[in-house]
Amino acid sequence: MIFHKASQLSFKSIEELSLIYCSWSEMHLRHNNVDSAIEIMRHACSRPNRRGKEPHPQAAKKDEGGSLGNNIRAWSLYIDLLENFSTFEDAKAAYERLLDLKIATPESVLNFTSFLQRNNFFEESFRVFERAVQLFKWPHVYEIWVTYLTKVI
C-alpha cells in the first residue's frame, strides 16, 4: 500500500519514480510474488506522463521524455524479470519495444542478441545487430560491431 501511494506522488525527476517502482517490484520478488513483480514493472514501463498531467517543470529539464516508460532502469528490471520468469516471446517483445522507443543502450542490445542466440535465434540476433549499428554512433557502436563481427565469423 505504501509503494502504491508513493507511486502516485509528484517527483522532481523520473529517476526518483523509477526507484519507487523498482523497489516495489524487488519487494515482491523477495516475497516470491514473481507475477506481481512482473505486473508492477509492466505497469511502470507502460506508464504515461503522470496520468496525463504536465510533468513537473524540473523533471522536464532533467528527463526530456517525462515518462517512466522511457526510463532505462525500469526497463532493465522489467526485461530481466521477463527473461528469468516469463516466456521467450514476452522477453523478446519487451526488448523490441526497448529498441522501438530508442532508449536501448549498447549493453541492452548486446544482452538482447545474447538472449536470442542462447535460444537459437541466430539470424534474428544478426538483424538486431544491424539495427543497433544504425541506432548508435561512434564510440558506442564499437562494442556492438566487434561482437557482431565475432559472432558472424
pLDDT in tens, 87-104: 899 999 999 898 888 888
* Structural domain harbouring 40: 1-86
Nearby residues of 140 by Cβ (< 8 Å), 6 or more positions away = 106
**Residue 30 half-sphere exposure toward CB, CA atoms < 13 A:** 6
Counted domains in the chain: 2
Q: Strands of the chain (E only): list them.
A: none
pLDDT in tens, 133-148: 888 788 878 887 877 7
Count, residues in the chain: 153
96 lies in some domain: no
Predicted TM-score (pTM) of this structure: 0.77
Please tell me whether residues 19 and 63 are part of one structural domain: yes
